[in-house]
Chains A and B, each alone.
Chain A
Amino acid sequence: ETGVTQSPTHLIKTRGQQVTLRCSSQSGHNTVSWYQQALGQGPQFIFQYYREEENGRGNFPPRFSGLQFPNYSSELNVNALELDDSALYLCASSLTGRKSAKNIQYFGAGTRLSVL
Chain B
Amino acid sequence: AQKVTQAQTEISVVEKEDVTLDCVYETRDTTYYLFWYKQPPSGELVFLIRRNSFDEQNEISGRYSWNFQKSTSSFNFTITASQVVDSAVYFCALSEAQGSGTYKYIFGTGTRLKVLA
Residues of A with Cβ closer than 8 Å to B?
A: 2, 31, 33, 35, 40-45, 48, 50-51, 55-56, 58, 88, 90, 92, 94, 96-97, 102-110, 112
Contacts and interface: CB of A to CB of B under 8 A. Distances in A.
Contacts of B45: 43, 90, 92, 107
Contacts of A51: 100
Interface string B38-71: 0000111111001000000000000000000000
A48 B104 contact: yes
Contact of B98 (A35, A56, A106, A107): A56
Interface residues of B, number: 28
Given A42-B107, A90-B45, A109-B43, A56 B99 contact: yes
Interface of B: 4, 6, 33, 35, 37, 42-47, 50, 91, 93, 95, 98-110
B43 A88 contact: yes
Contacts of A45: 104-106
Nearest to B49: A104
Instruction: Tell me what chain B mostly uses at the interface: helix, strand, loop, or mixed.
Output: strand
Contacts of B103: 94, 103, 105
Contact of B44 (A40, A94, A105, A108): A108
12 contacts: A42-B91, A43-B105, A48-B102, A48-B104, A50-B102, A55-B98, A55-B99, A90-B43, A92-B105, A94-B102, A103-B50, A104-B47
